[in-house]
Structure 1
Amino acid sequence: MTHRERHDTMNLQLKIISEKVKENEIALFWLGQAGFVIKNSDDKIIALDPYLTDCGERIKGFKRLSPKLILPSELQPDIYITTHIHFDHFDFDAIPIVASCPKTKFYGPKSCVDKYIEIGIDKDRITELQLGEEINFNNMMIKPVYADHGSLAPDAVGILMNISGVKLYFSGDTAYHPEKMDDVVKFQPDIAVLSVNGKFGNLNSTEGAKLANIVKTKVAIPCHFWTFREHGGDPLLFEKEMEKYASKSKVKFMTQGEMFKYAK
């Protein structure tokens, strides 16, 4: 790691830890790819699909083009969620390091649970996410919902969250099947985070915009682009398609490491 990279990681870690969040508000940080950190007013930190290392290059030759902004040892979340087993969502090199933080609890569908156990994480720190089942604690609700990421990740899920009244939808990696997303439509998220790279079975820009309209999100945040050359993605086209199909929703483009606050 270069001096500049080390400086960047220290900045983001400090920003997450020191940021004060009001009641009925969340702070959302983009880590790049489909990785996000959410912080609430109780100083609880949720990490979802963080890709923190270069394990994709080691495993499959996918070279990382984006900076690493926080070290796995610095993340120290209360909750760590993986939506499916692919390396850019289930970071095989980061998770054993994150697990050294004793407070961190791990969540994911069965394929992820099996891999958590294989890594050596205690079962009492792991919760399996099963479609349609809500998990409620403190001022949070987590609910896995339908996603279609093909035969290589058959139990992939999207995620609904209600954190202090702010409703979020993370599409995870999914194809466009709005007829199977009634849970998301009924939820009417304040924020929809959509993977819109259009390759490997994911939503493309047009489908992402159409889905944003169908679920009536107030804010749409595109993600899952520009981390690997193989993944593609066109955020400018997404903006144009949002104007065409979901003009009532605000589009929020985030830079990697940026914080976005939202309050009810």
Structure 2
Amino acid sequence: MSDLAKKIGLEAAESGGLAIYWLAQAGFVFKAHSKSIVYVDPYFSDVVEKTFGFKRMMPCPISPEEVSANLIACTHEHLDHMDTDALPIIARNPSTHFAGPVECVREFGKMGIPEERCHLLEEGKDVIITGIKVAAVFADHGELAPDAVGIVFDFDGIKVYHTGDTAYRPEAFRRAIEMKPDVLIPCINGRYGNMDAREAALLASACRPRVVIASHFWMFVEHNGDPGSFLGHCSELAPDVQALVMKPGERFLFEKL
């Protein structure tokens, strides 16, 4: 068993906090004080290289066979966010549920995941899945994924806003901003229509979370991403926000005030 699988299984989110682990790319794991475990946009395999020729530059610190989760949430159907090689393995656990926009739900069905364990995420709608509050919010990934969403999770009162893949659209982010997320996780790579490092810092300035964590960088050489620039822009544009760049498998404990 990998070190990360052991940590997620054994470590607790103390004092009503939230344990956050980065899997690389846009993938994160959240373990709440209630012991609920959620994965968002996990990319485990080499399916992107097999399909498009983009070689992964960071190994995933956990294998799909080791995953024990209440919920796997995908912001859109691209293979580095919805890993079609790995999710059927995870789905062998009958207690794991899956959520995503319409194209993801269709793919879940093709993987043989039972309908009752698949949940639709639609912009502007909130759902409760396995006791976890999930709000689908705006994302603009253009024609690449017209049904893409961002997600605001509410873990026992701690709100985490994962932007998914999106362009910078400050007016359209209004609903997510008004939810007052405690943690913001923006894409920063500035390719394929996504926000760049400066735009991610601007969103942090607008949201004013306690913590902002960079995502979507360095997985593929074609995708770019500059976490150093992100930290610099956050220092300038959102100086009151704690800006983080994590390493794969690293744990950050967000503590409730």
Which TM-score tier does this pair reach, normalised by the shorter chain? over 0.9
Tell whether 2:199 aligns with 1:204.
Answer: no
> Number of matched residues?
256
SS at match of 2:142: coil
Aligned to 1:67: 59
2:72 to 80, 97, 110: 80
Q: Separation in 2 of the partners of 1:72 and 1:253?
A: 24
CA contact (8 A) 1:132 1:145 kept: yes
- The runs of 5 or more residues in structure 1 that have no matched partner are 1-8
| Runs (4+) off by over 6 Å | none
Aligned to 1:24: 16
TM-score for both structures, normalised by structure 2 = 0.97
Using the TM superposition, give the Cα deviation of residue 80 of structure 1 relative to its aligned residue in structure 2, in angstroms: 0.5
Tell whether 2:187 aligns with 1:195.
Answer: yes
Using the TM superposition, give the Cα deviation of residue 69 of structure 1 relative to its aligned residue in structure 2, in angstroms: 1.1
Q: Which structure 2 residues correspond to residues 238-257 of structure 1 after superposition, within 5 A?
A: 238-257=230-249
Using the TM superposition, give the Cα deviation of residue 140 of structure 1 relative to its aligned residue in structure 2, in angstroms: 3.0
Q: Separation in 2 of the partners of 1:81 and 1:242?
A: 27
Aligned to 1:175: 167
- How large is the Cα RMSD of the aligned pairs? 1.2
Q: CA-to-partner distance for each residue in 1:145-171, whole Å, 9 max, x for gaps?
A: 000001020000000011011111001
Q: Separation in 2 of the partners of 1:118 and 1:145?
A: 25
Aligned to 1:3: none
TM-score for both structures, normalised by structure 1 = 0.94
Aligned to 1:219: 211
- The runs of 5 or more residues in structure 2 that have no matched partner are none
Using the TM superposition, give the Cα deviation of residue 97 of structure 1 relative to its aligned residue in structure 2, in angstroms: 0.6
CA contact (8 A) 1:24 1:165 kept: no
CA contact (8 A) 2:189 2:197 kept: yes
CA contact (8 A) 2:70 2:130 kept: no
Using the TM superposition, give the Cα deviation of residue 183 of structure 1 relative to its aligned residue in structure 2, in angstroms: 1.0
Q: CA-to-partner distance for each residue in 1:177-208, whole Å, 9 max, x for gaps?
A: 01011111111211100110000110001100
1:140 to 129, 132, 141: 132
Q: What amino acid is the match of 1:248?
A: D
SS at match of 1:36: strand
